Structure 1
Amino acid sequence: MLQKFKQRRFGALYSFFDLGRMRAALRRSELGMIFAGAFVGITSGCAVTAMSVISRTMHTLIFGIDDSGRLSSAQVDDKFLLLASPVVGGIVLGLMIFILAKTRKKPMVDPIEANALHGGRLSLTDSILVAVQNLISNGFGASVGLEAGYTQIAAGIASKLGYKLQLRRSDLRTLVGCGAAGAIAAAFNAPLTGAFYAFELIIGTYSIITLTPVVVSALISTLVARLLSGNDFNIDVGDFGSVVPADYIPALLLGAFCAGAGILIMQGVSFIEELARKSSIALPFRPALGGIVVGLLALITPQVLSAGHGALHLNLANTIAIPTLIGILLLKSLASAVSIGSGFRGGLFFASLFMGALLGKIFAYSAPYFDHATLTPVIYAVVGMSSLAVAIIGGPLTMTFLALEITGDFPITALVLAAVITSSLVVRSTFGYSFATWRFHLRGESIRSAHDVGWIRSLTVGRMMREDVRTASVNITVEEFRHDFPIGSTQRVILVDDADKYAGIVLVPDIYASPVDKNDEGKRIADFTKYRNDFLQPQMNAKQAAAIFDKTESEALAVVNNLIERKVVGQLSESYTLRRYAEELDRRRREISGEL
């Protein structure tokens, strides 16, 4: 009786939280994805606030600064703390790296790679580990920001939710984008910036289907972060009139200047990473050595520590001489490159904003050489920070909306848009990568963005091939071949040698089309062999297979296990490969348009 009462009383509640019903609701309507995006926005806002509070608490405890202060703008009198703290952080991080190397063999995947290659699948455990590593790095003063940890943990939670609900590939990728959007929106109090960060850098495309859940996640995450912390990231540009046409010339030049600086910074990080790899220093010891360099630089100026929030506002609010600005820029660039190159976990998002602002203020000293230009040093700083961030991070609209939301000035936004487009164009034309995709390139990946290319890699020759192949010895005669393979029995036969290695393909119609001659009774079938050195391997994807078919002009090819053994494991036709490739392309198109 009591059991029946409970079923009636809580039946509706149980059915509401039933995973099967929730999954069906998400698949049936866009409203379900909006609710999922809202939930992800709440968790993202909470995660960002928690990480921010932990980081600032660590700065207070470790460096002895005021609760309301920022590390990069604080006055730390104890020089030993400035030197030793990054080293201690490197030791702690190195110990963590050593333990993880023994217990976890798979590399950690970030949101861009997850959406590009794995259909949005992220390990929540790995995401938590990345966030902890980011907190250790930033909390002990390494010159990295928390944005990488923000997006990782938020996207990891979103991916876990989508996986539990067994969402389709496209919906899971969208939900990961919702997590990243919520993370950046909460970090900068900028929902439009967060939304377009997801569209440009995490999802890789914009569509009506993804618009609502991503924007809802960014808005709700911003509200949650405001309620929990109340911190705003704003820049006061002062009283500024309208932008005149003459102002665009220095803005465009500054955009190109920042593009060159961004390329140098990315190359610098890669150079230090390569230097560390070629050295005999074990991976767990590298962060501590990097911490020594960062600590020594912090003795010169604490502005190189952490992400640089306090240092950014400090330099914008004061008039500083060119040599000092150049010195801070060089020290911060070196500290960031050494921090990331030596193994500290974090990103260059805010560091690129800080260095870009310094570049803008340096460039502002050339303003008298531009006739009729009306820009102030603070405006140059805003243009510079957006332009350098685009050069390193990517996302022209993301950085344009960031400038709009942190200044609240529409005329400046048009100026920033022109500069960031110039910066993006120069980087893409001369370098071709953002910081994240450049690191993928160094690992041997061909990812240029978060566009979904993982389905191409999963559509492999091994999945498409036929295993029921007809084989024959390459040493048999034509007469024996005609006896074993009557006309019409098969279209082609794969030849193997005495060691069962692939030796080529014979087309059955070609054998029967040749005239019968008594002198050719002992003629070997090897004389009719084609494609002796042309074959496929199971790990090749459909795109690679199609390229080989086009090159060899063959209708079908044999599939061998590897280049050494060359054992025949199947065969694949060009027509079937192209049909499956076209079907998958159409499927992705329908997913984007919402037809699935």
Structure 2
Amino acid sequence: MSTTQPIAPNDVPRDVHHLGDFRATPRLLIIAALALPVGAVAAVVAWALLRLIGLITNAVFYQRIDTRLVAPGGGHDHWYIVLLAPIVGGLVIGFMARYGSEKIRGHGMPEAIEAILLGGSKVQPRVAILKPISSAIAIGTGGPFGAEGPIIMTGGAIGSLFAQFLRLTADERKTLLVAGAAAGMAATFNTPFAAIMLAVELLLFEWRPRSYVPVAAAVCVATVIRHPLLGDGVLFPVKGALHITPVAELLCVVTGIVAGLLAIVATMLVYAAEDGFRKLPVHWMWWPAIGGVIIGIGGMIVPESLGVGYNIIEAELDGSIGMDLVVGILIVKTLIWSLSLGSGTSGGVLAPMFMIGGALGALESNIFPHVGPGFWALVALAGVLGGVMRSPFTGVIFAMELTGRFDAILPLIIGASTAFALSSLMLKRSVLTEKIARRGYHLTREYDVDPLEIYFVGEVMSRDILSYESDLTAAEALEVISGVEPDNVETRRQMLYPVIEGSDTLVGVVTRTQLETAVHEHGGDTSLQELCITAPIVTHADQTLRETANAMAANAVDKMPVVDREDSTRLVGLVSLTMLLEGRVRDVREARESERVLRLRVARPGWFGRTQ
């Protein structure tokens, strides 16, 4: 006997008590505990990297043994040292990349993203060693780069290596990788909040307690350890009151637009340079040395454009920089950074963006009204970060933590958000994601609520289903299917049939393939009781579409019986993969279909004088 009797909707109650805002399990505490030593080691590595940069810079440009961070090309060098040092540094990096690991090429963050998304969060041990050394050589020999990208990659490598020695999932390895990366960044700049924001906006690709809590734990530990090693003050302290007026806030939009355009130009220059280097008839191993030629020439024109340039950033932010140097930094630093980065050398993005953005704002301060020391440099700095990295929250928080200017939060939001909007409209990808796209991969940085998480199985499942009594034979079951009316498309496409006893007691399920095989090979006399799968994968009407989709993927099925949560033998419906797409259909409809919900009505004479 078979039945296609619809199951009444009232028989499917919805209970949401088993669902929560977050899927947090006690395991997140274990991963958070593992993140603590990762954060500690990342802080020490950040300190060591900065000291190594200082050591190389002092040795090359000042011929002395010292580990303090100093500016290369400070006016005390022979011209040939400024010219040749970046070339030699590029040669060394090229050899390290070819005979060590090609992963050390680039500015660190795209490589970290690629390891997370495509490599199962597994980083080679040699990268953890070669990346900081190659970056220290690049920066110490005059490269116009920052230390943050390399320390993000190195800290991530430390977290990944630690995770690879343990029995962890790929998601847990990702969490520890990002914990190390964010911890290294926090230790470098003393910006714990910005480091966490960067992790959320750029590296984690999720917002969940299982990843946020360990990352926050690692960042806090790294920041605490940083204080005795590198100090606990802000990196670029700025003093003086701000007098922010509505006019100044409106001009922050202009600053954001200009900063966004500068970010677009810089991004395009990086990848135009990369395209140009690919056309050269030489092996990529020699490209960093050619990039070193560009750096050396730029250093001879504007020596202050070499190196990390923290002293220049500080001068921009406190308003003590001269206009000649501002123009030189704005032009020369942008060109040598973008063109040499395209050569595949090793160096970071953030510090150069600080300097370039600060120079833009310092230039604007000659036109815009005075608000306070370094105000326009600060807003432009956040704008360039928002435009280049497409991470406006990180740009705002970074600018405040670097300077202690928490009273400038609104202008910073205006500038960074404006630049972010412009960059998003005009460029498909950022300087951080274009490299991944050029390798044939795609990632999206848009995060929204999964529509499959909002809707329930009971809203999309089919209640009018074809089911069989367990005493039917396979031949009889096939005969029922052949007798289904042609216009009953849903039943003819069902393909999975519940086997029941009584009215709705589920015994198992049987597929059409099983029925056809039984008829062709065994004559069709086998009963469905013997033929059916007695422990099918099931779901519940009050389960979200996302959980059901996950269960389908994990068990390689595309249809599932829906049973009562309290009584797992009571059949209430059937759900298929196609039905799950209804959640996506509703999401697309909400995004594309426009409607006017409210209308204004004009009062006509006599309306207010009407009586009932």
Deviates more, 1:291-300 or 1:350-359: 291-300
Which residue number in structure 1 is paired with residue 77 of structure 2? 77
Which residue number in structure 1 is paired with residue 375 of structure 2? 379
Which residue number in structure 2 is paired with residue 430 of structure 1? 426
| SS of 2:374 mapped into structure 1 | helix
Which residue number in structure 2 is paired with residue 50 of structure 1? 48
Taking the aligned partners of 2:134 and 2:579, their CA distance within structure 1 comes to: 46
TM-aligned CA deviation for residue 300 of structure 1? 1.6
TM-aligned CA deviation for residue 339 of structure 1? 1.7
The one-letter amino acid paired with 1:440 is: I
Which residue number in structure 1 is paired with residue 585 of structure 2? none
Taking the aligned partners of 1:54 and 1:39, their CA distance within structure 2 comes to: 22
Which residue number in structure 2 is paired with residue 362 of structure 1? 363
The one-letter amino acid paired with 1:298 is: G
Matches within 5 A, 1:84-483: 84-100=84-100, 110-230=111-231, 232-317=233-318, 319-368=320-369, 375-376=371-372, 378-449=374-445
Taking the aligned partners of 2:371 and 2:416, their CA distance within structure 1 comes to: 17
Matches within 5 A, 1:519-530: none
Matches within 5 A, 1:506-517: none
Taking the aligned partners of 2:101 and 2:34, their CA distance within structure 1 comes to: 35
Which residue number in structure 2 is paired with residue 39 of structure 1? 37
Judged with a 3 Å threshold, the aligned counterparts in structure 2 of structure 1 residues 134 and 249 are, in CA distance, closer, same or farther, namely same
Which residue number in structure 1 is paired with residue 471 of structure 2? none
The one-letter amino acid paired with 1:383 is: V
Residue-by-residue CA offset, 1:71-100 (whole Å, 9 max, x unaligned): 257333322211111111112122223324
Residue-by-residue CA offset, 1:241-298 (whole Å, 9 max, x unaligned): 4533322111121111111101100110111111110121221222112212211211
Judged with a 3 Å threshold, the aligned counterparts in structure 2 of structure 1 residues 580 and 334 are, in CA distance, closer, same or farther, namely same
**Which segments of 5 or more consecutive residues in structure 2 lack a partner in the other structure?**
1-23, 449-478, 483-491, 494-512, 514-548, 550-557, 559-574, 583-612
Taking the aligned partners of 1:104 and 1:237, their CA distance within structure 2 comes to: 35
Aligned length: 438
Residue-by-residue CA offset, 1:434-488 (whole Å, 9 max, x unaligned): 2111222233221234989xxxxxxxxxxxxxxxxxxxxxxxxxxxxxxxxx999
The one-letter amino acid paired with 2:404 is: G
Judged with a 3 Å threshold, the aligned counterparts in structure 2 of structure 1 residues 241 and 305 are, in CA distance, closer, same or farther, namely closer
Judged with a 3 Å threshold, the aligned counterparts in structure 2 of structure 1 residues 488 and 30 are, in CA distance, closer, same or farther, namely closer
Which residue number in structure 2 is paired with residue 568 of structure 1? none
TM-aligned CA deviation for residue 421 of structure 1? 1.2
Taking the aligned partners of 1:103 and 1:222, their CA distance within structure 2 comes to: 27
Q: Radius of gyration: which is bigger?
A: 2
Residue-by-residue CA offset, 1:118-160 (whole Å, 9 max, x unaligned): 3433223234333332222112111221212101111111112
Judged with a 3 Å threshold, the aligned counterparts in structure 2 of structure 1 residues 358 and 50 are, in CA distance, closer, same or farther, namely same
Judged with a 3 Å threshold, the aligned counterparts in structure 2 of structure 1 residues 281 and 208 are, in CA distance, closer, same or farther, namely same
Native 8 Å contact 1:90 1:290 kept in 2: yes
Judged with a 3 Å threshold, the aligned counterparts in structure 2 of structure 1 residues 323 and 56 are, in CA distance, closer, same or farther, namely closer
Judged with a 3 Å threshold, the aligned counterparts in structure 2 of structure 1 residues 76 and 394 are, in CA distance, closer, same or farther, namely farther
Taking the aligned partners of 1:245 and 1:386, their CA distance within structure 2 comes to: 19
Judged with a 3 Å threshold, the aligned counterparts in structure 2 of structure 1 residues 85 and 409 are, in CA distance, closer, same or farther, namely same
TM-aligned CA deviation for residue 581 of structure 1? 10
TM-aligned CA deviation for residue 316 of structure 1? 3.9
Native 8 Å contact 2:234 2:401 kept in 1: no
TM-aligned CA deviation for residue 44 of structure 1? 0.8
Native 8 Å contact 1:65 1:74 kept in 2: no
Taking the aligned partners of 2:122 and 2:44, their CA distance within structure 1 comes to: 22
The one-letter amino acid paired with 2:398 is: L
Judged with a 3 Å threshold, the aligned counterparts in structure 2 of structure 1 residues 244 and 163 are, in CA distance, closer, same or farther, namely same
Deviates more, 1:374-383 or 1:357-366: 374-383
Native 8 Å contact 2:97 2:104 kept in 1: no
TM-score, length basis structure 2: 0.65
Native 8 Å contact 1:262 1:388 kept in 2: yes
The one-letter amino acid paired with 2:173 is: L
Judged with a 3 Å threshold, the aligned counterparts in structure 2 of structure 1 residues 103 and 267 are, in CA distance, closer, same or farther, namely closer
Native 8 Å contact 1:364 1:376 kept in 2: no
Native 8 Å contact 2:248 2:371 kept in 1: yes
Judged with a 3 Å threshold, the aligned counterparts in structure 2 of structure 1 residues 166 and 259 are, in CA distance, closer, same or farther, namely same
| SS of 1:436 mapped into structure 2 | coil
Native 8 Å contact 1:65 1:76 kept in 2: no
The one-letter amino acid paired with 1:97 is: A
The one-letter amino acid paired with 2:364 is: F
Taking the aligned partners of 2:316 and 2:354, their CA distance within structure 1 comes to: 12
Judged with a 3 Å threshold, the aligned counterparts in structure 2 of structure 1 residues 251 and 116 are, in CA distance, closer, same or farther, namely same
Native 8 Å contact 2:62 2:77 kept in 1: no
The one-letter amino acid paired with 1:59 is: T
Judged with a 3 Å threshold, the aligned counterparts in structure 2 of structure 1 residues 143 and 95 are, in CA distance, closer, same or farther, namely same
Native 8 Å contact 1:234 1:407 kept in 2: yes
TM-aligned CA deviation for residue 172 of structure 1? 2.3
Native 8 Å contact 1:146 1:307 kept in 2: yes
The one-letter amino acid paired with 1:332 is: K
Which residue number in structure 2 is paired with residue 594 of structure 1? none
Taking the aligned partners of 1:327 and 1:296, their CA distance within structure 2 comes to: 13
TM-aligned CA deviation for residue 101 of structure 1? 7.3
**Which segments of 5 or more consecutive residues in structure 1 lack a partner in the other structure?**
1-25, 369-373, 453-485, 493-507, 509-545, 547-554, 556-574, 583-596
Taking the aligned partners of 2:92 and 2:33, their CA distance within structure 1 comes to: 40
TM-score, length basis structure 1: 0.67
Which residue number in structure 2 is paired with residue 516 of structure 1? none
The one-letter amino acid paired with 1:441 is: A
The one-letter amino acid paired with 1:155 is: G
Judged with a 3 Å threshold, the aligned counterparts in structure 2 of structure 1 residues 103 and 89 are, in CA distance, closer, same or farther, namely closer
| SS of 1:366 mapped into structure 2 | coil
TM-aligned CA deviation for residue 324 of structure 1? 3.8
Native 8 Å contact 1:56 1:139 kept in 2: yes
Which residue number in structure 1 is paired with residue 532 of structure 2? none
Bigger share in helix? 1
Alignment RMSD (CA, Å) = 3.4
The one-letter amino acid paired with 1:56 is: G
Native 8 Å contact 1:115 1:450 kept in 2: no
TM-aligned CA deviation for residue 104 of structure 1? 12
Native 8 Å contact 1:113 1:450 kept in 2: no
The one-letter amino acid paired with 1:424 is: F
The one-letter amino acid paired with 1:342 is: S
| SS of 1:270 mapped into structure 2 | helix
Taking the aligned partners of 1:364 and 1:377, their CA distance within structure 2 comes to: 10
TM-aligned CA deviation for residue 31 of structure 1? 2.3
Judged with a 3 Å threshold, the aligned counterparts in structure 2 of structure 1 residues 214 and 310 are, in CA distance, closer, same or farther, namely same
Native 8 Å contact 2:53 2:69 kept in 1: no
Taking the aligned partners of 2:295 and 2:174, their CA distance within structure 1 comes to: 37
The one-letter amino acid paired with 1:177 is: V
| SS of 2:433 mapped into structure 1 | helix
Taking the aligned partners of 2:373 and 2:361, their CA distance within structure 1 comes to: 7
